[in-house]
Amino acid sequence: MPATFHSASVDTEEFGRELDKIRDEVLASLGERDAAYIRNLIAVQRKLELGGRALLFASWLPPAWAAGTAALAVAKILENMEIGHNVLHGQWDWMRDPKIHSATWEWDMASPADQWKHSHNFVHHTWTNVLGKDRDIGFSAMRISPEQPWHPIYLAQPFYNALLALFFEYGIAIYDVELERIPSGKKDPKEALTQLRAVLAKIRRQIVKDYVAFPLLAGPAFLPVLLGNLTANMARNVWGHTIIFCGHFPEGAEVFTEDRLESETRGEWYLRQLLGSCNIDGGRLFHIMSGNLSHQIEHHLFPDLPSNRYAEIAPRVRALCERFGLPYTSGSLARQAGSVWRRVLRLALPGPGRPAAGEPPARTLEAAA
């Protein structure tokens, strides 16, 4: 019997075929409109960065510092979320443009692109929310599921989660090296050291650029430029942390066990992506600033489809869920962020952490209603 984790009344294979149909239709319709979108967005991002840095050079005027810092923060968020994340997913590889290709793109983040693609594109998107397989459940640092064994270190997780938000890019870069797998022998220390050196080299280049080179070029505005760059980077980190956590960890996002995972069908893979993800409600600008990860459900269902198409297929996915009697979890940013922090606080304490109203427990891949 194939592995299932759904109501027996749901035809998962028909559900999967319907989603495949949506995917195939989008792929067949990709064209100049989509190419223009990403090229225009990259042009806007670069102009924002250039304008932000220029304004910071005039930061002896307080309005110039505020405007420059805001422009630079927006540019960094766009580069990280809607451009870098999605380019590295291969969403724009169909254009065959070497300047916008997952094999050549390097982003303004501490994680080297090749390391991030392995930990995120392969490990996370293959084993989404499977305990023991998906390392992104708590990022190997936090307890965000009652099924994770409690340890006294989790008492401090509300505090180090706040620190992680401020320095998110560095936390993710170290996390991608998988240092916690060395003691068990699952990770070769030499490989980890090589990867760690690549991370440190990338961090060093970023520090020189944002905290040495540009401040020095500003001359007497050295300190305001340094502080502006630091503020923009931290704003980008907090924003990225918030969007990512709100898409993966609020109430409604389910986790699963490994039982008979090897027999999972295409339809069941789709269903696991749906049940393990949550959307964030918002307008067009909000979706762009979130990297369209506000459409986390659509992103997990179709990680290689261009992100500008998620908004148009989201109503079809929601209607499909209604047709099959499946949940489609979505809420405002405030609601999802509050839900995440309640979970972080609740599961910092020992015990199973009683689920909030409507929050399902982890499901085995064989459990059926």
Question: What are the angstrom distances between the C-alpha of 172 and each of 144, 177, 192, 300, 343?
Answer: 17, 9, 15, 19, 21
Answer whether residue 358 is part of any domain.
no
Q: Is 208 within the bounds of a domain?
A: yes
Residue 366 lies in a domain: no
Q: How many domains does the chain have?
A: 1
The residues near 205 (Cβ < 8 Å, ≥ 6 apart) are none
Q: What is the pLDDT of residue 353?
A: 55
Residue 260: predicted pLDDT = 65
What string of pLDDT tens digits covers the 369 residues of the chain? 233 344 456 799 999 999 999 999 999 999 999 999 999 999 999 999 999 999 999 988 889 999 999 999 999 999 999 999 999 999 999 999 999 999 999 999 999 999 999 999 999 999 999 998 999 998 888 999 888 899 999 999 999 999 999 999 999 999 999 988 898 898 999 999 999 999 999 999 999 999 999 999 999 999 999 999 999 999 999 999 999 999 999 999 999 988 868 789 999 999 999 999 999 999 999 999 999 999 999 999 999 999 999 999 999 999 999 999 999 999 999 999 999 999 999 999 997 754 444 455 545 444 433
Residue range of the domain that includes 58? 12-346
What does the alpha-carbon distance between residue 141 and residue 137 come to, in Å, rounded to a whole number? 9
Coil, strand or helix at 150: coil
Identify whether 1 is part of a domain.
Answer: no
Enumerate the β-bridge partners of residue 130. 256
Domain membership of residue 25 (yes or no) is: yes
Return the pLDDT at 61: 86
What radius of gyration do the chain's Cα atoms show?
A: 21
Buried b (16+ CB within 10 A) or exposed e, 78-112: bbbbbbbbbbbbbbbebbeeeebbbeebebbbbbb
User: Is 22 part of any domain?
Assistant: yes
Residue 258 pLDDT: 87
In a domain, 230, yes or no: yes
Q: Where are the beta strands (DSSP E) in the chain?
A: 279-280, 330-331
Burial class of residue 334 in the structure, from the number of CB atoms within 10 Å of its CB (0-12 exposed, 13-18 middle, 19+ buried): exposed
Looking at the domain assignment, is residue 177 inside a domain?
Answer: yes
Entry pTM: 0.92
